[in-house]
């Protein structure tokens, strides 16, 4: 076989690149190994029995389950932020014409039992707040929140945004839950709520 002629265009081309076996530089390997060793050492020396007072105040029992531990202090502000801010807003001002405000609300500052009934069973109808009517639906939280959690969030909203009403105890929520145990529908607005004892 004869050698083919190499054209001038082929002579000015560079050879195709080839991959080489380039190892990871040893300083990078040493750094990765040192970080891994530090992580293992740190975790193995961690004190899992540290007092909860060093953290956010929750005990190991509280962190272990979904249900609050009896006697544990619940954060009503955190419950409000998780369940209520979408409608009533973080400022408690609600959305004009859509969701009523909690700030300065006569319902929030009113009878503790009525306020507990609102959270337990919800509202589906017209309610007047601060002289303005709101037509909408508030979900019931009786099935998803316990008495202590409802009491904590009610106590929170009664002490925020200029509200100065007293706290609501778990016993009040439990009494309302028992008294209205047969109720399956939300309240039909403010008129029905006002008639509650």
Confidence (pLDDT) at 31: 96
**Pair 155, 76: CB distance under 8 Å:** yes
pLDDT digits (tens, 9 = 90+) for 125-179: 888 888 888 887 888 888 888 888 889 998 999 898 888 888 888 898 889 888 8
If you average pLDDT over every residue of the chain, what do you get? 82
Which pLDDT band, with edges at 50, 70 and 90, does 30 fall under?
Answer: very high
Tokens linked to 43: 């975790």
Query: Which are the contacts of 142, defined by CB distance < 8 A and separation ≥ 6?
Result: 119, 120, 121, 150, 177
Q: Can you give the residue ranges of every domain in the chain? A: 73-194
Superfamily designation of domain 73-194: Cytochrome c-like domain (1.10.760.10)
- pLDDT digits 0-9 by tens, 181-193: 888 888 888 777 7
Kindly compute the dihedral angle of the four CA atoms of residues 197, 99, 133, 139, in this order, to the nearest 10 degrees: -40
């Amino acid at each position: 076989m004869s050698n083919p002629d190499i054209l001038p265009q082929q002579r000015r081309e560079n050879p195709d690149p080839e991959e080489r076996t380039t190892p990871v530089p040893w300083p990078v390997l040493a750094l990765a190994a040192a970080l891994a060793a530090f992580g293992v050492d740190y975790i193995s020396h961690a004190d899992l029995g540290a007092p909860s007072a060093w953290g956010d105040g929750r005990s190991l029992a509280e962190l272990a389950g979904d249900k609050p531990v009896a006697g544990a202090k619940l954060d009503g502000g955190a419950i409000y932020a998780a369940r209520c801010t979408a409608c009533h807003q973080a400022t408690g001002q609600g959305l004009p014409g859509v969701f009523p405000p909690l700030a300065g609300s006569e319902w929030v500052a009113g009878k503790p039992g009525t306020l507990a009934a609102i959270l337990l069973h919800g509202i589906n109808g017209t309610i007047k707040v601060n002289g303005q009517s709101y037509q909408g639906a508030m979900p019931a939280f009786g099935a998803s929140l316990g008495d202590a959690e409802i009491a904590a969030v009610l106590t929170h909203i009664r002490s925020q945004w200029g509200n100065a009403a007293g706290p609501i105890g778990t016993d009040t929520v439990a009494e309302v839950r028992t008294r209205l145990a047969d109720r399956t529908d939300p309240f039909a607005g403010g008129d029905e709520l006002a008639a509650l004892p």
